[in-house]
Structure 1
């Protein structure tokens, strides 16, 4: 089964357990948790899955700041706000990105409205959620180290990056 099909199934069956809630409470400050809870349920589940995977990956390496890594994993998609993009628009966006990435990136626009405007907004959010999330985190007073990693989690790897960013990208790609 392809990764994207698994993601759709995961989105449609997403649940948050009491253990997940406790995990979030252990790793996020109240202001950070408030941003986490502003995401829709599938994005919350995804962020938790990324955090759990990142924790497994970090156990295999030395010198990883696990607290930083877990905060970044839980917060990496906060730029995707609940009610902002429908699941159907998200699915269409991923398909468009697969077949016409250059065109669809230019076509996306911020701002909701009718069906087409909402789809264009979904595309815009897909490509810009990292910067949007970093801005939201910064406005909430979250540490620059976290906002920097969130802002760069979809950028190509570069020399001198923190190892937590590399592990976040890997965990995100696995989920």
Structure 2
């Protein structure tokens, strides 16, 4: 649970520096960067932290496409769109997924409305943001290697998957 507390603190204190902005510009073309900047600030900070960690992990590996890895790390959570889910609903969703995951998955629903509908929507986004983000990237014509990794970053590991996906998962779990 201490990891979750750290995540809440990180979300509340999130900032983006000029160095971070330059990093985004280095690895994302303007179309992809537009997706990055449509996330809320805590998700942007998380994606940057994942990218920095992924870069560190990649330095210890052979045959890693670092540009692909860092692009995917920056885009892995773009299915979480700014204004779509409140910070409070995100926190409650993570708590429910931790404590009662089967119930939480069965209770999720797409569609905003009142407080309960918004919480159910937040849970839907929590469980489906990877597929949602991949579909957004695919519709924008991004490389299928990127969309495939983004789509699968929360799936269980499988034989033969790209090392970049493995490293993204590891970096995401550390952040």
TM-score calculated relative to the size of structure 1:
0.99
Unaligned residue ranges in structure 2 (runs of 5+): none
2:120 alignment partner in structure 1? 120
Where in structure 1 are there 5+ consecutive unaligned residues? none
Q: How does 1:4-19 map to 2 (within 5 A)?
A: 4-19=4-19
- Displacement after TM superposition at 1:99 (Å): 1.1
Return the alpha-carbon distance in structure 2 between the equivalents of residues 80 and 130 of structure 1: 9
Superposed displacement of residue 150, structure 1: 0.2
Partner of 2:34: 34
Give 1:121 deviation, angstroms.
0.3
- 1:84-110 CA deviation, whole Å, 9 max, x = no partner? 001100000011001110111011001
The Cα shift of 1:2 comes to: 1.1
Q: Residues of 2 paired with 1:104 and 1:62: CA distance? A: 39
TM-score between both structures, scaled by the size of structure 2: 0.99
- Determine the C-alpha separation between the residues in 2 that align with 1:170 and 1:3: 15
Partner of 2:73: 73
Rounded to whole Å, the distance in 2 between the matches of 1:6 and 1:148 is 29
Number of aligned positions between the proteins: 175
Aligned to 1:52: 52
